[in-house]
């Protein structure tokens, strides 16, 4: 009997080949028109494809997805619209319509057992009614800035080390209002798990999907805290790297849900144990040469690299809200738990905001450690790159004087953010004001003093947890 449904299902090794080829075209900045034509042809020719998942992120970094019928996309790709008033930080109800362009270079073939059969995924570009870039779309801002650097022959490279927790039960974050607690799936600790235990099976499942998506995996392991994980992969051009952060978290959440568990990227969901970070490695290259490397430079870094990181240190407090954008993230910046809260650089001290890893001509880089995994990856990378390349270079006395620390609460971080002329200039007045407004709206629903216990409000009103239904309950 002929199957009722025959939607596309591709073996993992073949998916990896397809996605690595697409990633290479993107990194080489192949002509967008040629890429669009090739992707549209693939959609037309592959009869087993039924839908295109288009992703975009709001101002706070929450990922949104729309599934479009393939046939509709083929005839209406240049006229996709959505209601922006339903997205936090986007347009008001009176001017709600926004357009959704397609960045065809960011095309992914998908494993059917995780995403569903017959689907592909692509990242979208949020546009205003007239088709121009929308001010709240930080992905477009990052992509355009990387394109500007590329015109000078410079490539911005990034890789992210994203930590998270695995908890028992589905929707553990949204159910926190009722339960008031998270339940660990494992208490094995750093690098320790049995081959068949739940945490290891989760990590293995995620790593398989990441490999298929072209992440170019390196290593994965349980982290220091109970039920904590980290999966590392290779560096990429900054916009690709930011997309991979969103896919990393999406894959982890979906794999966990299929196992009746919850993958959480809250910075500090449980008091008394290490929190989760998103250490971000950065470098600049030009014509294949690492601009951050100098064998004779201090700690193996060039003057360009030292200027880059010193600009970030000089603007550290202004950047803090972007890097740590939730009430809960300031609970993580506790020096008792390896927290990188000191505004300094070090090759050894892991309490420093910036660390200099051991590197060579290929791998020399800086590692910005004071970043929470719930930050908007597009906004975070855009702000760090603009600051590192164009920010004010502080004098030596500012950097090497008395110890300086990042804010220990979100209200101080908001004040520093609002007071920064440079941040306002690079974000624009709308995005700058709206981002601060959203952060204050969530902060005002939590006690100002964090105290020693994680509060329900830190979880329920977190931008990656709350939704219209939950928000309206309070």
**Same domain assignment for residues 375 and 460:** yes
Average pLDDT over residues 420-448: 95
Catalytic positions are 83, 161, 163, 223, 230, 279, 350, 367, 369
Give residue 220's pLDDT: 87
How many Å separate Cα 49 from the centre of its chain? 28
Q: Return the closest-CA partner of residue 457 out of 263, 180, 270, 265.
A: 180
**CATH number assigned to the domain comprising residue 22:** 3.10.20.70
Bigger pLDDT: 44 or 194? 44
- Is 144 contained in some domain? no
Q: What is the C-alpha to C-alpha distance for residues 185 and 203, in angstroms, rounded to an integer?
A: 13
CA distances from 290 to 27, 188, 287, 382, 388 (A): 16, 39, 9, 20, 16
Count other C-beta atoms under 10 Å from residue 136's C-beta.
Answer: 26
Question: What pLDDT score does 339 carry?
Answer: 78
Q: For residue 57, tell me if it sits in a domain.
A: yes
User: Span 161-173, mean pLDDT?
Assistant: 97
Is residue 398 within 8 A of residue 314, CB to CB? The reply is yes
**Do 110 and 170 lie in a common domain?**
no
CATH of residue 282: 3.30.590.10
What angle, rounded to 10 degrees, do the helices at 12-27 and 238-258 form? 160
Q: Is the pLDDT of residue 454 over 60?
A: yes
pTM of the model: 0.96
Domain count, the chain: 2
Tens-digit pLDDT profile for residues 301-333:
999 999 999 999 999 999 999 999 999 999 998
- What are 64-84's pLDDT values in tens digits? 999 999 999 999 999 998 887
How remote is the C-alpha of 333 from its chain's centroid? 19
User: In degrees to the nearest 10, what's the CA dihedral of 194, 195, 197, 198?
Assistant: 130
Secondary element (H or E) of residue 106: strand 97-109
Q: What is the pLDDT of residues 420-432, one digit of tens each?
A: 999 999 999 999 9
pLDDT tier, 86 (very low <50, low <70, confident <90, very high otherwise): confident
Q: Is the pLDDT reported for residue 193 higher than 80?
A: no
Whether 7 is in a domain gets the answer no
Q: What is the DSSP string of 275-337?
A: ---EEEEEEEEETTEETTB-TTSGGGB-HHHHHHHHHHHHTHHHHHHHHS-STTHHHH--GGG
Q: Please give the helix or strand (H or E) that residue 159 lies within, else none.
A: strand 154-168
Residues 311 and 347 in one domain: yes
**Residues 164, 123: one domain?**
no
Alpha carbon distance 330, 370 (integer Å): 10
Residues 29 and 123 in one domain: yes
For residues 160 and 127, state if they share a domain.
no
88 with 161, same domain: the answer is no
For the chain, the average pLDDT equals 92
Domain assignment present for residue 365? The answer is yes
Residue 140 is assigned to a structural domain of this protein: no
| Residues 181 and 125 placed together within one structural domain of the fold | no
Single residue among 106, 134, 162 that ends a domain in this structure: 134
| Per-residue CA distances from 135 to 63, 142, 417 (Å) | 17, 12, 18
pLDDT given at position 187: 83
> Would you say residue 2 lies in a domain?
no
pLDDT for the residue numbered 94: 39
- For residues 263 and 256, is the Cβ–Cβ distance under 8 A? yes
Domain that residue 86 falls in: 12-134
| pLDDT on residue 1 | 62
> Do 457 and 405 share a structural domain?
yes
216 lies in the same domain as 72? no
Mean pLDDT of 161-183: 95
Q: What percent of the chain has pLDDT over 90?
A: 80
């Amino acid at each position: 009997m002929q199957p009722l449904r025959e939607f596309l299902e591709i073996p993992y090794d073949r998916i990896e080949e397809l996605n690595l080829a697409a990633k290479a075209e993107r990194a080489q900045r192949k002509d967008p028109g040629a890429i669009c034509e090739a992707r549209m042809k693939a959609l037309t020719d592959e009869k087993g494809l039924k839908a295109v998942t288009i992703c975009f992120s709001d101002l706070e970094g929450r990922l949104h997805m729309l599934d479009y019928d393939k046939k509709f996309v083929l005839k209406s790709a240049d006229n996709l619209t959505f209601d922006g008033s339903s997205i936090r930080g986007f347009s008001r109800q009176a001017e709600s319509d926004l357009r959704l362009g397609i960045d065809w270079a960011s095309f992914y073939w998908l494993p059917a057992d995780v995403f569903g059969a017959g689907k592909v995924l692509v990242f979208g570009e949020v546009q205003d009614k007239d088709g121009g870039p929308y001010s709240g779309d930080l992905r477009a801002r990052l992509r355009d800035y990387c394109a500007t650097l590329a015109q000078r022959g410079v490539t911005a490279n990034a890789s992210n080390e994203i930590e998270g927790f695995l908890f028992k039960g589905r929707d553990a974050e949204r159910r926190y209002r009722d339960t008031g607690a998270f339940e660990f799936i494992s208490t094995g600790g750093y690098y320790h798990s049995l081959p068949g235990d739940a945490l290891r099976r989760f990590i293995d499942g995620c790593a398989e999907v990441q490999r298929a998506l072209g992440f170019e995996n390196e290593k994965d392991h349980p982290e220091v805290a109970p039920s904590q994980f980290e999966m590392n992969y290779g560096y990429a051009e900054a916009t690709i790297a930011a997309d991979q952060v969103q896919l990393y978290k999406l894959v982890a959440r979906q794999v966990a849900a299929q196992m009746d568990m919850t993958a959480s990227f809250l910075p500090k969901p449980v008091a008394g144990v290490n929190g989760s970070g998103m250490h971000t490695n950065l470098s600049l290259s030009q014509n294949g040469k690492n601009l951050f490397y100098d064998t004779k430079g201090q700690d193996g870094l060039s003057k360009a690299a030292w200027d880059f990181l010193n600009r970030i240190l000089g603007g550290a407090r202004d950047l803090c809200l972007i890097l740590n954008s939730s009430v809960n993230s300031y609970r993580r910046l506790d020096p008792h738990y390896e927290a990188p809260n000191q505004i300094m650089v070090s090759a050894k001290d892991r309490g420093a905001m910036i660390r200099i890893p051991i590197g060579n001509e290929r791998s020399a880089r800086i590692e910005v450690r004071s970043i929470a995994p719930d930050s908007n990856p597009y906004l975070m990378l855009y702000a760090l790159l603009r600051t590192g390349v164009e920010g004010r270079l502080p004098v030596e006395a500012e950097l090497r004087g008395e110890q300086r620390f990042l804010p220990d609460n979100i209200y101080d971080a908001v004040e520093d953010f609002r007071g920064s002329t440079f941040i306002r200039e690079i974000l624009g007045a709308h995005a700058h004001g709206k981002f601060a407004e959203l952060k204050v709206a969530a902060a005002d629903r939590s006690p100002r003093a964090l105290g020693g216990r994680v509060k329900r409000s830190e979880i329920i009103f977190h931008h990656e947890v709350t939704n219209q239904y939950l928000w309206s309950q309070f």
